[in-house]
Every structure is written in structure tokens, then in C-alpha cells.
Amino acid sequence: MKFKIDENLPSEFAAILQGTGFEADTVADEKLSGAADALLAEHARTNHRVLITLDMDFANIQSYPPSAHAGIVVLRPRLQDKMTLLSLLQILIPALLKSSPEHQLWIVEEDRIRYRDN
């Protein structure tokens, strides 16, 4: 599975996912820092990468229908400090090892993961 890590997340996400056996790069790696959401979504889609982000705009299935994307994972922490975000990634990884978010929207919270198709 391949991932695109949004610029609003720690760059360590890519290294952690790579250490788990996934392919991952960051928005900065691709020189897309500051890019519009639509451009970022299109880049992730055309490169078959699951986008991981904090941006709730990507949870809008009218604007970003899951069936049109490789997958979208939106993290919803109570706090956005680095430790909290890294702990959410540790909740996400076991789910990724069991299932793929391909053509789905996953909302990852501290106590659950919600899954949404179109």
C-alpha cells in the first residue's frame, strides 16, 4: 500500500509507515507544500496513494468521493500535538495491516475508526 502524508502531519509518519512495510512519502517530498486540496487529492489519486491528513475538507464525500480515490484517511485527534498524532498513527497501523482503505474514507479517532464508502 502507498501513502501520501499531508503537510499538516509530522514527517515521521512516512518513516514509521515505511518501517512497517508500506510505501510512504510526504507532500513536501513531492514539492506540493501549500498546494490546493483539489491538486493534492488529484496527485494522490493519479499516483494511487492513500492520503493521510488532518484536513476535514477531505471527509466531504461530495467533494472527494471515496470511490474516485485510492483512499482517504482523516485523523481526528482531540489535541494536535505531535505525541497525540503519533499515537493515532499507532492506532491506524494495525487496521491497515488487516484491511485497505482503498476507495474508502476512514475517520480515525482516539477510540475508534469509522469507515465510509460512497
pLDDT in tens, 27-79: 998 888 888 989 999 999 999 999 999 999 999 999 999 999 999 999 999 99
The sign of the dihedral angle between the CA atoms of 69, 75, 76, 81 is: negative
Predicted local distance difference test score (pLDDT) of residue 62: 92
CB 14 within 8 A of CB 25: yes
Predicted local distance difference test score (pLDDT) of residue 29: 87
Q: Which residue has the cell 498546494?
A: 35
Residues of the chain with pLDDT > 90: what percent? 89
Predicted local distance difference test score (pLDDT) of residue 34: 87
CB 87 within 8 A of CB 52: no
Q: What is the pTM for the complete model shown?
A: 0.94
**DSSP state, 57?**
G
Q: Which residue has the cell 496513494?
A: 49
Predicted local distance difference test score (pLDDT) of residue 32: 84
Element (H, E) at 116: strand 113-116
